[in-house]
Amino acid sequence: MDGIDRRGFLECAAWAGTGLLWTAAGGVLSSRMLTPAAAAESQATGFSFVQISDTHVGFTGQANKDAAATLQQVVDRINALPAPPAFVLHTGDQTHGQKPGAFDTVAQILKGLKTDAVFYAPGEHDVFLDGGKEYLSRYGKGTVGGQGWQSFDAKGIHFVGLVNVLKYKGEGMGALGEAQLEWLEKDVTPLSSSTPVVVFTHVPLWSVYPQWGWVTEDAARALVHLRRFGSVTVLNGHIHQVLQKVEGNVVFHTAMSTAFPQPAPGSAPSPGPMKIPEEQARRMIGTREVTYAPGKHPLAVVDSTLDRA
């Protein structure tokens, strides 16, 4: 819990159900309620994009009988935003264990998004059965060598999408691999250090809880290429809960799932889906909006749960 004490975090967390604006200034996280005025301020000057993660279509369990239905609700929420997001990032685990037809269902639902583009990073659930064959046939186009990783620029921000689920090691940790690390170094070398960088990927790039595989083995070798930048925001999924960490100019944010919550690190015998009533789970799943005002603010990250009015 870097940059904010536990008590302060819990006070903030209590507001999570109504939307919270997280800002990072000088490496310290601060928060305030997401009010229409605050939202309007961001919209007037900057641009916004939305991150969704861990849609797990095909999942049926106690916490959610229909993960496709909650994804549809999320899409409806996004479409109701006062200013449409420039694009949407999906940070992986579209499907629950590559259930047959699940990729099609996700594609069908996301087709309804009112936005210009959707960018994807794969989760291990999307690739473990076939080594990524189906995922890359659908989403590899336009990525580096068709391997799923990519970068693009929007509004002066450099976005990097990394794949850390195709080189799973024996212990079940995420890994990027030599080829991708080499590419990343070359990709960011020409950029000025004042360029804001946003990295999106599936497994956390910091060591959240290695015992459950919540870590990317070679993340340090990626971060070494990013430390010189004044603002680096890392967005990931995988662990189905909101956590933040600040390391110098690098801010890490893990996102909620749109399907079901997972337990806090080490708080349960295994990281399996929490077995809680659906109405309780609605307060622990949702989506994330990121707004950016060039030259004015650091990126503001707003996590909103599905039960929000």
Partner 1 sequence: MKGMWTMSGALILAVLGAGAAPAAPRPRVDVREFAFTPGTVTVARGTTVTWVNHDEEPHTITSAAGAFGSTGLSHDETFTQTFTQLGTYPYFCALHPRMRATVIVK
Kindly list the residues in this chain that would bind partner 1 in the complex (CB under 8 A). Answer: 59-62, 96-99, 124-125, 128-129, 168-172, 213, 269-273, 275
Nearer to partner 1, 146 or 272 (CB): 272
Count CB-CB contacts under 10 A for residue 112.
11
User: C-beta of 97: minimal distance to partner 1 in Å?
Assistant: 3
Nearer to partner 1, 87 or 103 (CB): 103
Surface-to-core class of residue 88, CB atoms within 10 Å of its CB (0-12 exposed, 13-18 middle, 19+ buried): buried
Nearer to partner 1, 189 or 270 (CB): 270
Distant-in-sequence, close-in-space partners of 12: CB < 8 Å, separation ≥ 6: 4, 20, 31
CA neighbor of 121 nearest in space, from 255, 270, 249, 243: 255
Nearer to partner 1, 9 or 128 (CB): 128
Nearer to partner 1, 213 or 298 (CB): 213
User: C-beta of 74: minimal distance to partner 1 in Å?
Assistant: 20
User: C-beta of 68: minimal distance to partner 1 in Å?
Assistant: 15
Cα distance from N-terminal residue to C-terminal residue, the chain: 29
User: C-beta of 263: minimal distance to partner 1 in Å?
Assistant: 11
Q: Residue 9 is which amino acid?
A: F
Distance, in Å, from the CA atom of 201 to the CA atom of 295, rounded to the nearest integer, reads: 26
User: C-beta of 172: minimal distance to partner 1 in Å?
Assistant: 4
* Residue 33 dihedral angles phi and psi, to the nearest 5°: -65, 145
